């Protein structure tokens, strides 16, 4: 190598300075990166792995960049070596690079010898640390050179070496980062070897998602064995059920592979692709996304910041691979990702169930469509509809069974539930429960329908719950009772002894009371649904109670008669018999007390229909008032062992006899609560709340505040708004006015409070003041009060009366002079026991008890008017024909009840249930009723007319009275020209 | 589209015309539908139960416990049990309404 070809001293110095510059910058960058990394490591535990991910990503970028530039670095080295080795003639240099001449002139230092201008390789290697090199020196020289170039008119050209230096600087920076990467967690990623399915590596990757292969294996095994998952495991399971479902099928290794695969996929897409647009962050991107950072911020910091933000949308930590991938897909517009999105996604369990349900619906619809045009074509429309419904229910049951099989870890429990439900009917009282639960399930939806359409407030359920706890069994039965089950249960019990009575009590009280306690809330739903045949059921219960009393009486009579006094009085046997009787009686009495309490409550609710429930639901203050006044309501009551409220024993009954107070003669009306000064407007048939309100105003019975509220010339909508404001439902969205009953009435008291009075029974449903504050009326107090429950008193007195009779027949067995009045109660002393008790209608056997309000008022109709027919004419008979029917009717009655005594008997039973009369057996009918019984049977068989009674279709239907049934039956027969067949 | 009025009226009873069925059929249909809704309710609430409650529930089922006890348990342990019943009942109503909409 010739001397001329050697680089000049200036050139070497320049290169040295530039190299030092590069190293200095690289050192600074490395220091900054190290500091950042240390910071990231420190906060790793708290700030999430996402920062770590940021760092990883940055390093990976640099790594990728570096690998791309390795070749260039190598080329640069070669060129440098070449420069060192080549001897370039000075003339050639001066010719090709005139600036060299200028620089040469500047160098005048005497000690500069050609020898000194040679820079040894060792010197280059021994470049001092960047911080030790004064920056000013090179800067000054550069400036001087620039000035000289300017003076000489030489245009500065970009130098190849300068570009290379820039590149080198980047490479060094990348190299530093790469070293960090190798030291830190990046090495664990093992990015280069995607095929490495080594167990440990996979587990490491799974751990990245807070799962280990062991976790998956354990949970999967439990799922497979249908064992219960502990809370921690369930949390993991819920994080990604698909993973575990997959693991159940494929064992944990496959699952982990799947997970790791997902992770690797993500890496491949977002972390390791060198030039992925969204990941390699350019200055332009930074400027675009973070313009506020462009001017002052360090480039690396800006990069890091943006990378962090970007990565937040890509974070896969703690999300599970699938979720992370999903999010990642959302976060990128990369074509390959868009393509990926087009592929069918893995369904979640919810999505799968939704899909299967939709498929099920379509399948059944198709089946129905096919059958409608095929197999069912010949059937009538109704028949086809019925078949379609049956098909749907049947298919739904099958579908649910399949659903249970898909329920994973809960399949076992669901199977157990299925068996439990199936076996319910085999349990004592289980059939009742099954039907009752079903009824409630059906009824609850109806309430929700009301909520969904805004007819009921969403808080209905909550309020209803409280309401339920108040009303108790009444509402429970209302929703839960379904006809035949209860009848079957009841009729299946034939109490022959105390054990059976206990059994009966258990069924009635045990199920019933418990029902109300636990289902109080949703049973109110049944009210809105109308209550399934509850009247019928409750009447049956009443009838059952009476029947059992009658049977018990007969049993008791037998026992008493078995004590043959002629052959010798067996005192011990008699005492024993009486003891048995009393015991049985007491037990029976309690049952009846409970039954009738519920019966009365339910009767009330039904008579007001949906009104109470909805009114209460829409008037939270009512529910609040209910809640707050519970203790007040029960102040004179005690709870029996079933938890039901019963009246405290009356101290006034000093003789220990059953209370037979004025309520038996006036069972409903309580004079103390009458408010005669209030002018009420009665709800007429077909009236709703708004119509009644309007009449109230029209009749000048409304106070000023109501008129103000309504405004001038109020229209129907104004009344409706008024009603709504005070929590009353109006008929706007409903077909009829079932929320108020015919016979209810509205009025205002002396304080101008609005009063809604129920029927002709003087208790109030609700009171609303001018501020719209509603308070519950005294209906519950009345209803809870034993005095109010007419039938209970009647039953008790029936037995009591019977007891008296027995005692009268057998003077030795008891006191003949039964005290029917309580001490200190003058009104009771005036009562004639014979008038208190309703005539025993059917020889005390199977006596039908009608729960209609008419029956509760007692025999108040004068005997001579009892044979008068009603004005009913449901079949629109011409007047002449109607008169003829009425004449026949009166004739029959006169024949059946020829004297005042028998007419009085008729007055006592005419409003009893015709259905009950028809259903009893002839051999148990009392002599006085036999003619009536035959007439009713004749009408039934000749006309086919069934007495009206509550049904599921029309639960609010009153039980048709005997009187009305006979008249209607005769009119119907007349309309068919068959009246001559209705004979006595 | 159903009006409010119609929707209110279009409940399960109406959908299945239970009111037009003979009494014994009414009961049978109500029991079937009630059973379906009940199963749906149970399917929904089981995953909500803590381990010990689920174990207790399973035990009750296996021992064929009294319904009273079971429902006591469910009302006590499952928050908003009433609401869940109502929702499942409504789900059934909607589904049935969709399937039977063409008849």
**Adjacency order of strands within the sheet including A745-748:** A681-682, A745-748, A754-757, A764-768, A774-776
pLDDT in tens, A835-865: 323 333 333 333 333 333 333 333 344 445 5
In this prediction, residue A73 carries a pLDDT of: 58
- What pTM was computed for the model? 0.33
- What's the pLDDT at A693? 78
Contact of A449 with chain B, judged by CB distance below 8 Å, is answered with yes
A&B contacts, CB < 8 Å: 223
Q: Is the pLDDT of residue A931 over 70?
A: yes
Residues of A in contact with B5 (CB under 8 A): 733-735
| Residue in chain B lying closest to A449 (CA) | B8
Q: Which residue of A has its CA nearest to B92?
A: A445
- Number of CB atoms found within 10 A of residue A748's CB: 22
pLDDT reported for residue A21? 75
Is the complex ipTM higher than 0.95? no
Minimal Cα distance from B15: which residue of A?
A: A389
Interface residue of A372, A441, A530 to substitute, partner B, most B CBs within 10 Å: A441
Say whether residue A372 is in contact with chain B using an 8 A CB cutoff. yes
Q: How far apart are alpha carbons A532 and A530 in whole angstroms?
A: 6
Residue with tokens 């006036």: A666
Judged by a CB distance cut-off of 8 A, whether residue B90 touches chain A is yes
Region A961-980: mean pLDDT is 88
Tokens of A176: 């530093």
CA distance B44 to chain A (A): 10
pLDDT tens digits, one per residue of A766-820? 556 565 554 444 443 443 333 322 332 333 233 333 333 323 333 333 333 323 3
| Mean pLDDT across A342-349 | 69
The contacts of residue A895 (CB under 8 Å, 6+ apart) are A931, A984
Instruction: Using CA coordinates, name the residue in chain A closest to B63.
Output: A420
Q: What is the mean pLDDT of chain A?
A: 57
* A97 pLDDT more than 90: no
pLDDT band at A114 (very low <50, low <70, confident <90, very high): very low
**Angle, CA A165 vertex, CA A161 and CA A167 arms, to 5°:** 115
Asked whether the beta carbons of residue A389 and residue B36 sit closer than 8 angstroms, the reply is no
From A16, A522, A314, select the one nearest B75 (Cα to Cα).
Answer: A522
A383 CB burial (10 A radius; 0-12, 13-18, 19+): exposed
Query: Per the CB < 8 Å rule, is B5 touching A518?
Result: no
- Main-chain dihedrals φ then ψ at residue A767, nearest 5 degrees: -125, 135
Among chain A residues, CA nearest to B13: A442
Question: CB distance A449–B35 less than 8 Å?
Answer: no
Q: Which of B9, B42, B96 sits opposite A417 (nearest CB)?
A: B42
Question: What confidence tens digit (pLDDT) does each residue in B14-72 have?
Answer: 788 876 777 667 767 877 888 898 899 999 999 889 989 999 999 999 998 877 778 77
A379 touches chain B (CB under 8 A): no
Give SS3 for A382: helix
With an 8 Å Cβ cutoff, is A569 touching chain B? no
The pLDDT assigned to A902 comes to 82
Task: Please indicate if any CB of chain A lies within 8 Å of the CB of B13.
Answer: yes
Which residues of chain A have a CB within 8 Å of the CB of B66?
427, 429
Which of B58, B74, B95, B103 to substitute to test the interface with A, most A CBs within 10 Å? Answer: B103
Burial A467-501 (b: 16+ CB within 10 A, else e): bbbbbbbbbbbbbbbbbbbbbebbeebebeeeeeb
Pick among A402, A417, A533 to test the B interface (most B CBs inside 10 A)? A417
In whole angstroms, give the CA distance from residue B90 to residue A452.
9
Give the bridge partners for A774, in sequence order: A768
pLDDT at A817: 31
> What pLDDT score was predicted for residue A645?
37
Q: How far is CA A808 from CA A205, A794, A832, A907, A936, in A?
A: 96, 20, 17, 27, 35
Q: Which of residues 480-509 of A touch B (CB under 8 A)?
A: 482-485
- A117-131, A223-237, A370-384, A475-489: segment of lowest average pLDDT: A475-489
Asked whether the beta carbons of residue A423 and residue B75 sit closer than 8 angstroms, the reply is no
The reported pLDDT for the residue numbered A861 is: 42
How far apart (Å, rounded) are the C-alpha atoms in residues A408 and A412?
8
Whether residues A444 and B89 touch (CB distance < 8 A) is answered with: yes
Q: Which of these ranges, A32-41, A252-261, A270-279, A429-438, has the smallest mean pLDDT?
A: A270-279
Query: In this prediction, what percent of chain A has a pLDDT beyond 70?
Result: 29
In the predicted model, is pLDDT for residue A8 greater than 60?
yes
Beta bridge partners of A745: A682, A757
Distance from CA of A682 to the nearest CA of B (A): 27
Q: What is the mean pLDDT of residues A109-129?
A: 46
The better pLDDT of the pair A421, A585 is held by A421
pLDDT tens digits for range A193-216: 444 444 444 444 444 455 666 777
Tell me if A32 sits within 8 A of A298, measured CB to CB: yes
B 34-73 → A contacts, CB under 8 A: 34-43, 46-47, 50-51, 54-55, 57-58, 60-62, 64-68, 70-72
Judged by CB atoms closer than 8 Å, whether chains meet at A450 and B8 is answered as: yes
Q: What is the pLDDT of residues A127-147, one digit of tens each?
A: 444 444 444 444 555 566 666
Is the Cβ pair A407, B43 closer than 8 Å? yes
- A393:B32 CB<8 A: yes
For A168-177, A529-538, A561-570, which range has the lowest pLDDT when averaged over its residues? A529-538
Predicted pLDDT of residue A695: 81
**SS3 per residue for A123-173:** HHHCCCCHHHCCHHHHHHHHHHHHHHHHHCCCCCCCCHHHHHHHHHHHHHH
pLDDT tens-digit series, residues A142-198: 566 666 666 666 555 445 456 666 776 677 677 666 666 655 544 444 444 444 444
Measured between CA atoms, how close is A520 to chain B, in angstroms? 10
Q: How confident is the model at residue A629 (pLDDT cuts 50, 70, 90)?
A: very low
Min distance A364 CA to chain B CA atoms (Å):
7
Cβ contacts of B23 on chain A, cutoff 8 Å:
483-484, 951-952
* Contact across the interface for B67 and A231, Cβ inside 8 Å: no
Mean pLDDT of A385-399: 91
Report percent pLDDT > 90 for chain A: 4
Q: What pLDDT, in 10s, does the model give residues A732-761?
A: 333 322 345 566 677 777 767 777 665 555
Flag if A954 and B19 touch (Cβ within 8 Å). yes
Kindly write down the DSSP assignment for every residue of A588-648, as one continuous string. Answer: HHHHHHHHHHHHHHHHHHHHHTHHHHHHHHH-HHHHHHHHHHHHHHTTTEEE-TTS-EEEP
- Residues A879-886: contacts with CB within 8 Å, 24+ apart? A881/A974, A881/A975, A882/A971, A884/A974, A884/A979, A885/A967, A885/A970, A885/A971, A885/A974, A885/A979, A886/A967
C-beta atoms of B39 and A446 within 8 A? no
Chain A CB contacts of B4 under 8 Å are 453-455, 733
Option in A361, A388, A455 nearest B98 (CB): A361
Q: How confident is the model at residue A967, as a pLDDT?
A: 92
Q: Return the pLDDT at A414.
A: 93
What confidence tier does A258 reach under pLDDT thresholds 50, 70, 90? low
Query: Would you report the helix, strand and coil content of chain B in percent, each value rounded to 5?
Result: 80, 0, 20
Binary contact (A420, B70; C-beta < 8 A): yes
pLDDT, tens digit, for every residue of A643-668? 333 444 333 333 333 333 333 322 22
pLDDT at A375 over 70: yes
DSSP three-state, residue B95: helix
CA distance B30 to chain A (A): 6
B79 → chain A, closest CA residue: A462
For residue A415, pLDDT beyond 90:
yes
B84 reaches A (C-beta below 8 A): no
């Amino acid at each position: 190598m010739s001397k001329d070809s050697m680089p000049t001293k200036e050139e070497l110095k320049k290169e040295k300075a530039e190299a030092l510059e590069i190293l200095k910058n690289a050192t600074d960058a490395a220091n900054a990166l190290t500091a950042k990394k240390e910071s990231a490591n420190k906060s790793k535990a708290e700030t999430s792995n996402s920062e770590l991910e940021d760092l990883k990503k940055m390093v990976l970028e640099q790594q990728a960049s570096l690998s791309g530039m390795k070749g260039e670095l190598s080329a640069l080295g070669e060129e440098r070596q070449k420069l060192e080795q080549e001897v370039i003639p000075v003339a050639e240099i001066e010719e090709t690079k005139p600036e060299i001449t200028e620089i040469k002139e500047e160098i005048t230092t005497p000690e500069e010898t050609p020898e000194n201008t040679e820079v040894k390789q060792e010197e280059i290697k021994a470049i001092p640390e960047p911080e030790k090199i004064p920056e000013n020196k090179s800067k000054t020289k550069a400036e001087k050179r620039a000035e000289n170039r300017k003076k000489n008119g030489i245009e500065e050209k970009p130098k190849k070496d300068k570009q290379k230096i820039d590149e080198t600087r980047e490479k060094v920076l990348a190299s530093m980062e790469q070293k960090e990467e190798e030291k830190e967690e990046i090495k664990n990623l093992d990015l280069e070897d995607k095929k490495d399915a080594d167990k440990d590596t996979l587990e490491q990757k799974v751990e990245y998602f807070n799962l280990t292969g062991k976790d998956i294996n354990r949970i999967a095994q439990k799922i497979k064995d249908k064992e219960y998952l502990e809370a921690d495991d369930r949390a993991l399971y819920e994080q990604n059920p698909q993973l575990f479902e997959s693991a159940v099928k494929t064992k944990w290794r496959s699952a982990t592979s799947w997970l790791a695969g997902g992770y690797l996929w993500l890496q491949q897409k977002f972390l390791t692709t060198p030039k992925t647009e969204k990941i390699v962050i350019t200055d332009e991107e930074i400027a675009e996304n973070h313009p506020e950072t462009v001017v002052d911020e360090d480039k690396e910091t800006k990069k890091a910041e943006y990378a962090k933000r970007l990565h937040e949308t890509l974070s896969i930590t703690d999300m599970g691979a699938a979720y992370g991938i999903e999010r990642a897909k959302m976060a990128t517009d990369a074509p390959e990702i868009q393509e990926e999105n087009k592929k069918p996604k893995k369904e979640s369990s919810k999505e799968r169930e939704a899909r299967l349900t939709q498929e099920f619906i379509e399948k059944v619809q198709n089946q129905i469509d096919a059958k409608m045009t095929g197999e069912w074509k010949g059937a009538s429309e109704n028949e086809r509809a019925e078949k379609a419904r049956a098909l749907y229910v049947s298919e739904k049951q099958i579908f649910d069974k399949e659903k249970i099989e898909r329920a994973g870890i809960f399949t076992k429990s669901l199977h157990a539930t299925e068996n439990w439900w199936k076996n319910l009917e085999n349990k004592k009282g289980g059939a009742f429960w099954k039907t009752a639960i079903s009824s409630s399930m059906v009824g609850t939806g109806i309430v929700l329908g009301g909520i969904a359409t805004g007819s009921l407030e969403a808080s209905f359920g909550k309020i209803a719950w409280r309401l339920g706890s108040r009303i108790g069994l009444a509402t429970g039965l209302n929703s839960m009772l379904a006809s035949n089950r209860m009848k079957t249960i009841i009729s299946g019990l034939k109490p022959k002894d105390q054990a059976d009575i206990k059994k009966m009590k258990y069924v009635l009280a045990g199920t019933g009371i418990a029902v109300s306690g636990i289902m109080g809330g949703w049973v109110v739903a049944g009210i809105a649904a109308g209550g399934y045949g509850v009247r019928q059921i409750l009447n049956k219960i009443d009838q059952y109670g009476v029947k059992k009393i009658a049977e018990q009486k007969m049993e008791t009579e037998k026992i008493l008669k078995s004590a043959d006094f002629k052959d010798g009085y067996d005192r011990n046997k008699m005492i024993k018999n009486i003891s048995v009787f009393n015991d049985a009686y007491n037990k029976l009495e309690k049952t009846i007390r409970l039954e009738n309490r519920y019966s009365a409550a339910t009767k009330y609710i039904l008579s007001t229909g949906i009104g109470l429930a909805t009114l209460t639901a829409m008037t939270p203050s009512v529910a609040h008032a209910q809640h707050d006044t519970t203790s007040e309501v029960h102040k004179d009551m005690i709870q029996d062992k079933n938890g039901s409220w019963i009246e405290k024993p009356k101290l006034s009954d000093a003789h220990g006899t059953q209370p037979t107070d004025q309520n038996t003669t006036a069972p409903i009306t309580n004079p103390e609560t009458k408010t005669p000064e209030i002018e009420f407007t009665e709800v007429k048939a077909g009236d709703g709340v708004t119509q009644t309100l309007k009449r109230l105003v029209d009749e000048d019975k409304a106070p000023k505040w109501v008129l103000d509220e309504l405004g001038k010339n109020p229209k129907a909508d104004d009344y409706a708004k008024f009603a709504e404001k005070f929590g009353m439902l109006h008929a706007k969205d409903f077909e009829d006015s079932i929320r108020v009953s015919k016979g209810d009435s509205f009025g205002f008291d002396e304080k101008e409070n609005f009063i809604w009075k129920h029927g002709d029974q003087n208790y109030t449903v609700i009171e609303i003041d001018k501020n719209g504050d509603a308070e519950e009326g005294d209906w519950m107090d009345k209803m809870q009060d034993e005095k109010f429950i007419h039938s209970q008193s009647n039953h008790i007195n029936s037995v009591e009366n019977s007891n008296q009779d027995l005692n009268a027949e057998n003077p030795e067995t008891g006191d003949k002079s039964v005290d029917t009045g309580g001490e200190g109660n003058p009104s009771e002393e005036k009562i004639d026991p014979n008038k208190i008790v309703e005539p025993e209608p059917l020889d005390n056997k199977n006596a039908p008890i009608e729960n209609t309000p008419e029956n509760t008022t007692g025999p108040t109709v004068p005997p001579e008017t009892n044979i008068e027919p009603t004005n009913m004419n449901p079949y629109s008979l011409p007047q002449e024909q109607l008169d003829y029917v009425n004449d026949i009717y009166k004739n029959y009655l006169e024949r059946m009840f020829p004297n005042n005594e028998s007419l009085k008997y008729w007055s006592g039973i005419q409003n009893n249930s015709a259905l009950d009369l028809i259903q009893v057996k002839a051999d148990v009918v009392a002599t006085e009723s036999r003619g009536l019984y035959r007439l009713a049977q004749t009408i039934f068989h000749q006309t086919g007319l069934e007495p009206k009674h509550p049904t599921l279709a029309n639960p609010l239907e009153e039980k048709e009275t005997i009187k009305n049934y006979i008249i209607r039956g005769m009119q119907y027969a007349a309309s068919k020209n068959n009246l001559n067949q209705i004979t006595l | 589209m159903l009006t409010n009025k119609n929707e209110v009226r279009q409940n399960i009873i109406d959908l299945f015309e239970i009111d037009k069925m003979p009494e014994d059929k009414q009961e049978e249909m109500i029991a079937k539908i009630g059973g379906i809704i009940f199963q749906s309710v149970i399917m929904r609430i089981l995953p909500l139960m803590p381990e010990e409650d689920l174990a207790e529930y399973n035990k009750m089922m296996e021992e064929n416990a009294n319904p009273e006890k079971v429902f006591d348990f469910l009302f006590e342990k499952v928050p908003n049990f009433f609401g869940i019943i109502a929702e499942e009942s409504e789900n059934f109503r909607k589904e049935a309404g969709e399937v039977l909409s063409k008849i």
